[in-house]
Structure 1
Amino acid sequence: MTKVAISAAVALSVLFFSCGENKPAEKAPVSYPTMKIERADRSLTTNYAATVRGCQTVEIRPQVSGILTEICIKEGDAVRKGQLLFEIEPAQFQAAYDIAQANVHSAEAAVSTAQLVLDSNKELYDEKVISDFELNTAKNDLSEAKAKLNLAIAQLDKASTDLSYTQVKSPVNGVASMIPYRVGTLVSSNIVEPLVTVSDDARIYAYFSMAESDMLNLVSQYGSVDDAIKEIPDVKFQMNNGEMYPLPGNIDAVSGTINSSTGAINFRAVFPNPQRLLRDGGTGTVIIPNDYKDCIAIPQGATYELQDRIFVYKVVDNKAVSTEIKILPNSNGREYIVTEGLEPGDIIVSEGAGLMKEGTVVNAK
């Protein structure tokens, strides 16, 4: 009996310990990083693709027709206002000027002669030697001579202007573009391509488009478009190679209408360009900063999205409570600015919100 009892006891012990080993172990609570909501200052940026234009870009075209006899600049040269760029064969225009000048001298002589005749006729009329008709004829002859003189002077002015047009000069300071013509080419005012384009790029304009919603956000923040232009901090420019342009600029103009095709509004930023680093026709990115004072900023990892709505998990009584929030549309890539849904002093899960669910026990760390 003793052996039987011992065997039974051993069997029961083995069974007891075997059952104990199969019982699942309790999972330890997961620790989640949390943060306490506080107000702070933040500066976020918004990027806009931009096209670069010179402050003043002028297409230089000939005002008269003729053979191009000299090109006085090289492509890419910096040119000054009034500098000679091209010369057009002047012979025919010089001849026209000389003829016009001779016509002026002839007309001046005719006026002098008509004046002498009139003066003489007045004396004869006073002596009753000639009639009213002859006196009035002399007056009319003088008027006609003066009119012809005025016409000759006008023709001389035109001939002088045409002659001056054979020397094509730059109307602005700037940089010369490529030159599609060569010496010996017949050029005229209706040529397809300009002789050269001169771009004044001591300052450059960066043109970009802003969505209507972004513009309305600016108006909401600053009060009006005009106030926004005045109050927006200096903007930056990222060049096409990814490098930041070293000098800041500012927004100085905005279009008065919305493009009905794109729903966007055109803006213009101006940048100083003393080293001519930015060139007309280039591209880049305008970066607009937005400064927010005393705002609520949270990590993007603290949020999750559901049906185009943004949520965070508040920690209430050590449990996760899903809470919808409203945020500003722009961000710095790391944080969101919260406009509704959170208050200073709230505790939220700061990472991994997308992996949690409602009611999860939060062991804060």
Structure 2
Amino acid sequence: MKKKIYHLLTVTLLVAMLTGLSSCGEGKADQQAGASQTPTLPVIELPVKTLTGFQSYPARIEGVVNAQVFAKISGYITDVAVDEGQKVRKGQVLFRLETQSLNQDAAAAKANVNAAQVEVDKLKPLVEKNIISEVQLETARAKLKQAQSAYNSIAANIGYGTIKSPVDGYVGAINLRAGSLVSPSSQTPLTTVSEIDKVYAYFAMNEKEYLDFIMAATGGVRDEKIKNLPKVTLTLANGEEFPQEGTIETVNSQVNENTGSVNFRAVFDNPQRLLTNGSSATLQIPKTYTDVVVVPIESTIDRQGSIYVYQVNENNEATATEIKVKDEIQNLYIVDSGISEGDRIVAKGTQNLKGTTTIKPQQTPFDSIAAPIKKSFR
């Protein structure tokens, strides 16, 4: 009986030992499995930087002097004396009109002047001899002035048949050629003469952009703010940057009722005459942010218009944190609120995270995630 009891105790002890060893093995396996499920993700520490971005606006280019040339009389063009793009001086002949009929009218008017003059000359001695009254002579003199006025008017019209440049500048498109009939009521100018050594760039902001822009400018009253505005640049239609910087000269004092925008005018030196009247360009206004927290756009998540990053705490727990963005420059968001300098965030792989997740952080240099900072336009 004692041997049976002893045997049962031995078997029970062996079973307990085996069970314990099995439990220990399973625990270690669970621990290893848990460790293998913790994701290893790159983590960056947020710095502060000073960045300059650019706000861009479509611009229309016009010469500082931009004179449209119209005919003052009706007639057919007989001669185009200049070519498109030619530099001309004030008073230089541009077009000539047919004036044959006017010359005939002028000859008839001149004859009337001569006849009226003869009448006056004939009456003068008669008045002096009191043969006729002074009234007759004055009437003859009035007719002479009337005839002279008619002749002068026709002569002036003949002069208008030679159309001259009103200003120094460059000839634009010639819209009508020899043989075309023109008149003072024509809506299309014969050409436009533009002075393009300096040019104006016209652009517009909506009302909100205008208010933000003016309120951010240094100075007291509005005129002081305009004088203190930064230099602006142009990007040409071929994507190249115009070599000269410009100055914003005027800002319209009224909001356009139809478009809700405010018009601006900037002036640029144009020594090489790269810009011509009617050119298009993109105007950039620089905006500098000093010592601001930045986040790579690649490290953020956009959820229904809200921007999130996964912030990593001291326990290596990554939690979605909403941030407010002030601006975007190249591949970086400028942070307004939500995170601070020195905070750690997950740099890549955030799309696989949900809620609060424990991670194995892999410290990564910020600049390896964010490309080198360059000028950017938006």
Scaled by the length of structure 2, the TM-score of the pair is 0.73
Aligned residue type for 1:332: I
Give, in whole Å, the separation in 1 of the partners of 2:239 and 2:169.
Answer: 26
Counterpart of 1:128?
none
* 2:155 corresponds to 1:144: no
Instruction: After TM superposition, give the deviation of residue 239 of structure 1 in Å.
Output: 1.0
For 1:49-198, what aligned pairs fall within 5 Å after superposition? 49-121=58-130, 138-191=133-186, 193-198=188-193
Instruction: After TM superposition, give the deviation of residue 357 of structure 1 in Å.
Output: 6.2
Change (3 A) 1:225 1:240: farther
Change (3 A) 1:28 1:336: closer
Instruction: After TM superposition, give the deviation of residue 163 of structure 1 in Å.
Output: 1.0
Instruction: After TM superposition, give the deviation of residue 61 of structure 1 in Å.
Output: 2.6
Counterpart of 2:45?
34
Counterpart of 1:288?
285
Counterpart of 1:43?
52
Instruction: After TM superposition, give the deviation of residue 118 of structure 1 in Å.
Output: 4.2
Give, in whole Å, the separation in 1 of the partners of 2:204 and 2:250.
Answer: 12
Alignment deviations for residues 40-93 of structure 1 (CA, whole Å, 9 cap, x no partner): 643221011222233333332322223322221223323322211121223322
Residues paired across the two proteins, number: 343
For 1:296-311, what aligned pairs fall within 5 Å after superposition? 296-301=292-297, 303-310=300-307
For 1:243-258, what aligned pairs fall within 5 Å after superposition? 243-258=240-255
Give, in whole Å, the separation in 2 of the partners of 1:114 and 1:304.
Answer: 104
Cα pair 2:42 2:346 within 8 Å, conserved:
no
Cα pair 1:295 1:337 within 8 Å, conserved:
no
Instruction: After TM superposition, give the deviation of residue 235 of structure 1 in Å.
Output: 0.9
Cα pair 1:232 1:289 within 8 Å, conserved:
no
Give, in whole Å, the separation in 1 of the partners of 2:259 and 2:161.
Answer: 46
Instruction: After TM superposition, give the deviation of residue 216 of structure 1 in Å.
Output: 1.2
Give, in whole Å, the separation in 1 of the partners of 2:310 and 2:20.
Answer: 48
Paired residue for 1:211, among 183, 187, 206?
Answer: 206
Give SS of 2:248's match.
Answer: strand
Instruction: After TM superposition, give the deviation of residue 278 of structure 1 in Å.
Output: 1.8
Instruction: After TM superposition, give the deviation of residue 209 of structure 1 in Å.
Output: 2.3
Aligned residue type for 2:106: Y
Change (3 A) 1:113 1:295: farther
Alignment deviations for residues 201-227 of structure 1 (CA, whole Å, 9 cap, x no partner): 332222222122211111220266544
Percent identity, please.
31
Cα pair 1:297 1:335 within 8 Å, conserved:
no
Cα pair 1:48 1:209 within 8 Å, conserved:
yes
Alignment deviations for residues 93-147 of structure 1 (CA, whole Å, 9 cap, x no partner): 23333443444444445445555444443xx9xxxxxxxxx7xxx3333433343
Cα pair 2:203 2:263 within 8 Å, conserved:
yes
Give, in whole Å, the separation in 1 of the partners of 2:323 and 2:138.
Answer: 89
Give, in whole Å, the separation in 2 of the partners of 1:352 and 1:178.
Answer: 56
Give SS of 2:328's match.
Answer: coil
Aligned residue type for 1:88: L
Instruction: After TM superposition, give the deviation of residue 266 of structure 1 in Å.
Output: 2.3
Give, in whole Å, the separation in 2 of the partners of 1:358 and 1:25.
Answer: 18
Cα pair 2:42 2:347 within 8 Å, conserved:
no
Give, in whole Å, the separation in 1 of the partners of 2:46 and 2:117.
Answer: 97
Cα pair 2:50 2:288 within 8 Å, conserved:
yes
Counterpart of 2:369?
none
Cα pair 1:60 1:195 within 8 Å, conserved:
yes
* 2:231 corresponds to 1:234: yes
Give, in whole Å, the separation in 1 of the partners of 2:320 and 2:17.
Answer: 54
Give SS of 2:189's match.
Answer: coil
Cα pair 1:62 1:168 within 8 Å, conserved:
yes
Give, in whole Å, the separation in 1 of the partners of 2:349 and 2:137.
Answer: 101
Change (3 A) 1:110 1:322: farther
Instruction: After TM superposition, give the deviation of residue 288 of structure 1 in Å.
Output: 0.9
State the Cα RMSD in Å: 3.9
Instruction: After TM superposition, give the deviation of residue 324 of structure 1 in Å.
Output: 5.2
Aligned residue type for 2:166: P
Aligned residue type for 2:44: P
Aligned residue type for 1:184: G
Counterpart of 2:4?
none
Give, in whole Å, the separation in 1 of the partners of 2:144 and 2:52.
Answer: 73
Cα pair 1:304 1:353 within 8 Å, conserved:
no
Q: Which runs of 5+ in 1 are unaligned?
A: 125-133
Instruction: After TM superposition, give the deviation of residue 315 of structure 1 in Å.
Output: 6.0
Counterpart of 2:262?
265
